[in-house]
Structure 1
Amino acid sequence: MLQGRVWVLDGGLASTLEQGGISVDGDPLWSARLLYTDPDAIKKVHASFLDSGAQIITTSSYQASIPGFRQHLGITEEAAVDLITLSVALAREAVSEHVANCGTEGAVSNFLYGAHQFLVAGSVGPYGACQADGSEYSGQYVNNLSTTDLIDWHRPRVAALVGAGVDVLAIETIPAAKEALAILELLAEFPSIKAWVTFSCKDGHHTNYGDRFSEAVKKCYEKGSDQLIAVGVNCSPPQHLSSLLREANASPPSPEVLPRVVYPNSGEEWVAGKGWEGRGSQWSYVDQVVEWRKLGASIIGGCCRLGPSDIKAIASVMSSCV
């Protein structure tokens, strides 16, 4: 699906909603609440990223879970599954409307490859994200959960996303190798689906939990079989990404065997209950994006605090990297 291609991923859904005047920071469901209260707002953000050059649209299911929806919305399990299904439908509708309005030739034509012109990626956030306590930025919860516990917790959302017809799963912002490996083991129950895994990392060498990044990449490759199509980093400070990619590239699998995916945040710090604080260090899109591409990144986009204008800048640089 990815070999020989470059793709522009979308940016931060919640932070783009915030910039549009819709407050989600501090909400235990984060942007997933809008699936219940204002789904059109989500579709508008998807459309804004498509208009900015994104080829891959990520569903608004990062902080969605069956238990979370039942607890915070007071709805049934069936209704909770319907909301996750809706996250896929909104992304699909945004893509269809974009193509109808622009035509595929006019829509980021430098990036049209093969049968796939746009992809919908089902967001599978970590267990910690749905605890709404910032624990995805440490991953310490994996010490108290078995692999079976993690598989059982992730299964309903993965099943709903696959059932709704996503093109690929984005297993993202994973703080610990243990959780990534558990989700990859779960994927064996859904043999038709492909996925990428991206870790959240605290420095240029380690995941937020403390795993050596190169070892985490290697273990995912060994576990993922042919269902794993890419591995990399997201929701991490941009200044760490080149170091992380170099570390991963120093040992098998190479980017030619397993493509890399990167989508950093802006470098700010997440404060539980408050949101993102403290503008991160400034960085050059031109210098960094070109370097990440040279280091094997086939998918490049943005995460928290990177909006449509940032994706437009990334798309512009990526067009010269094809």
Structure 2
Amino acid sequence: MAHKIAILDGGMGRELARVGAPFRQPEWSALALYEAPERVREVHDSFIAAGAGTLTTNSYAVVPFHIGDARFAADGQRLAALAGRLAREAADAAPEPVRVAGSLPPALGSYRPDLFDLPQALAIHRVLIDAQAPFVDVWLGETVSSIAEAEAIHQALAGQPQPLWLSFTLNDEAEQYDAVSTLRSGESVTAAVTRAVELGAENVLFNCSHPEVMLSAVRQAAAVLKQLNASVGIGVYANAFEHGSNGGGANEGLSGLRKDSDPAGYLHWAQEWVAAGATLIGGCCGIGPQHIQRLAEALK
């Protein structure tokens, strides 16, 4: 590989479940912050040992969508701060430098650009930002379904000195596999990447979508960045959800994991993304330390 590849971590939620941490819907990965925070640290340590150079805080589910309005009002600040501290302590104990990315999830529901409301999103994001700010090196807007969600994250971060990474989630129904990738809102990758550059994003990524739709997105992003002469990195961290798993409500159950996203299969996709211009590679839901170790051995 001609350019240096940064290795990200993998999916926190499914790894918590695999190691026996408390895990269920609707709380998802936030439940471990309530009942077994030592397991969150254990998972962070596992990803570092596998070769990850960036840890993402376990704050993805610290939103009313997962823990409810009342618990978010009572516990949101504390849980988000705990998520930031656990990642920071793991990173500081690592034998080599490790960055901490503060997760800023979809404030009003994953894959649901139709639910977006700017005042509500800003209020939720600002709780997460205030709590995690002492612990993070970069801010990571994750699973962004629309340009409006990206703009809200940027607005909520006003005055924060850390760099911004924006990671978009893509329409990944089967009929999209051979087409030009789009955001779940239907907006184009070209428009999203252009706006991310205007917002000052240091890296533009694609996450929590099937691996098959990532290559088109990377190619489109690379073309936009070349046209804009922008020094912005491109990242990918796909999920391992079974095909057709996005049809139900986000809190109605646990999606199955596909068998062809084993470490060898996932590496094959990652090598295609790198060949197309990706410089940051990791994993989302269902991608664990074994996957990250395989990526690090082959790409780092």
Q: TM-score range by the shorter chain?
A: 0.7 to 0.9
What whole-Å deviation, never above 9, does each CA across 1:250-294 have from its counterpart, x for those lacking one? 224568621111100014224432111262655734432222223
Q: Say which SS state the counterpart of residue 128 (structure 1) adopts.
A: coil
Structure-2 residue corresponding to 1:210: 186
Structure-2 residue corresponding to 1:311: 292
What whole-Å deviation, never above 9, does each CA across 1:93-139 have from its counterpart, x for those lacking one? 2223332xxxx3xxxxxxxxxxxx2101111100233xxxxxx2232
Map of 1:274-293 to 2, 5 A cutoff?
A: 274-277=253-256, 279=258, 281-282=260-261, 284-293=265-274
Distance 1:286 1:161 in 2: 32
Structure-1 residue corresponding to 2:60: 62
Structure-2 residue corresponding to 1:251: 224
Structure-2 residue corresponding to 1:113: none
What whole-Å deviation, never above 9, does each CA across 1:198-242 have from its counterpart, x for those lacking one? 1111145111121111111111211x13xx210120011011111
Q: How many residues align?
A: 283
Structure-2 residue corresponding to 1:140: 114
Structure-2 residue corresponding to 1:108: none
Distance 1:36 1:186 in 2: 26
What whole-Å deviation, never above 9, does each CA across 1:30-56 have from its counterpart, x for those lacking one? 111211211001000111111111111
Q: In structure 2, do the counterparts of structure 1 residues 177 and 242 end up closer, same or farther at CA, with 3 Å as the change threshold?
A: same
1:264 aligns with 2:235: no
Q: In structure 2, do the counterparts of structure 1 residues 36 and 23 end up closer, same or farther at CA, with 3 Å as the change threshold?
A: closer
Map of 1:141-156 to 2, 5 A cutoff?
A: 141-142=115-116, 145=117, 147-156=118-127
Structure-2 residue corresponding to 1:133: none
Distance 2:43 2:139 in 1: 20
What whole-Å deviation, never above 9, does each CA across 1:143-187 have from its counterpart, x for those lacking one? xx2x3443233222122211x230011110111111111111222
Distance 2:257 2:4 in 1: 35
Q: Say which SS state the counterpart of residue 171 (structure 2) adopts.
A: coil
Q: In structure 2, do the counterparts of structure 1 residues 255 and 290 end up closer, same or farther at CA, with 3 Å as the change threshold?
A: farther
Point out where structure 2 has 5 or more consecutive residues left out of the alignment. Answer: 173-179
Distance 1:206 1:274 in 2: 26
1:80 aligns with 2:76: yes
What is the CA distance between 1:68 and its match in structure 2? 6.3
Q: Say which SS state the counterpart of residue 162 (structure 2) adopts.
A: coil
Distance 2:88 2:141 in 1: 19
Q: Say which SS state the counterpart of residue 205 (structure 2) adopts.
A: strand
Structure-2 residue corresponding to 1:24: 23
Q: In structure 2, do the counterparts of structure 1 residues 34 and 278 end up closer, same or farther at CA, with 3 Å as the change threshold?
A: closer
Q: 1:160 aligns with which of 131, 135, 146?
A: 131
Structure-2 residue corresponding to 1:132: none
1:180 aligns with 2:150: yes
Structure-2 residue corresponding to 1:200: 169
Structure-2 residue corresponding to 1:234: 207
Residue 66 of structure 1 contacts residue 81 of structure 1 at CA under 8 Å; is this kept in 2?
no
Distance 1:308 1:288 in 2: 17
Q: CA RMSD in A?
A: 2.4
Q: 2:103 aligns with which of 85, 101, 123?
A: 123
Residue 267 of structure 1 contacts residue 280 of structure 1 at CA under 8 Å; is this kept in 2?
no
Point out where structure 1 has 5 or more consecutive residues left out of the alignment. Answer: 105-116, 130-135
Scaled by the length of structure 1, the TM-score of the pair is 0.80
